[in-house]
Amino acid sequence: MHTLSNSRLTTVSGLALIAGALLTVFFMLHHPSTSAGDLAGALDEIGHEAAISAWVHGLLILVLAGIWFGCYGLTRRLGSGHTLPVLGFMLFTLGVFAYMLAALVSGFIVSEIALYFAGAPVAEMQQAGGFLRANWAANQAFANAGLIGTSLGILCWSVAMLLRQSLVRLAGVVGIMVAALPAVLLVTGHLQLHVLGMTIVVVANSIWYLMTGVLMVWGALRAQD
């Protein structure tokens, strides 16, 4: 019964990672962005896309929660009594929480500012610019923390995977590359987490989520035979 319960958890967790990988890429490809060259135009664009932005970021937060659950199952699968998987889960949890805060800022607070200052006089527009810059700084701080936290989590799990069988070992190698490269680029100033930069990170992470999810489901099905 205990083995069956673990097998079900692994299957559901793996499916959560597979779905999360596909959905995060889909939603990031539909992430609203502004192209206006002036503040008034940017506020107008953000205001018009407020509803879409709220939906995209709200759903991304839900998908992040699903990925977090999938990684909980991965931690159990790798051994919740071992240091590396548990450390990875703790760091990943902090990263996911930071990403959620970044999504709240970008998807809801910025839109409210744009709607509030829409059509405002020039003097108030300057105030709006200050608010938008502050929110951008907050978004970047949370997004950077999210990338570092999730990358360190993936790195811990991937190192633990290197001790497993061949296909799992391959996922470990991919995970180390997926975790290390974006983090190094961010720390050295070669990566900025605007829409394009974040999309690149999401696609890279999703490759590992997808690989890991498939291996978890496959392993659970084999264990039931």
Q: What is the DSSP string of 143-200?
A: HHHHHHHHHHHHHHHHHHHTTS-HHHHHHHHHHHHHHHHHHHHHHTT----SHHHHHH
pTM: 0.90
- Provide the token pair at 177: 């590359």
Task: Report DSSP state, residue 172.
Answer: H
pLDDT at 224: 67
pLDDT at 217: 93
pLDDT at 120: 72
**Cα–Cα distance measured from residue 96 to residue 135, given in angstroms and rounded to the nearest whole number:** 19
pLDDT at 37: 67
pLDDT at 205: 96
pLDDT at 3: 40
pLDDT at 145: 97
Amino acid, single-letter form, for residue 161: M
Please list the ranges in the chain whose pLDDT falls under 70: 1-5, 36-37, 223-225
pLDDT at 73: 95
Domain count, the chain: 1
Domain ranges, residue 138: 2-224
Amino acid, single-letter form, for residue 117: F
pLDDT at 155: 97
pLDDT at 5: 54
**Cα–Cα distance measured from residue 186 to residue 171, given in angstroms and rounded to the nearest whole number:** 23
pLDDT at 183: 95
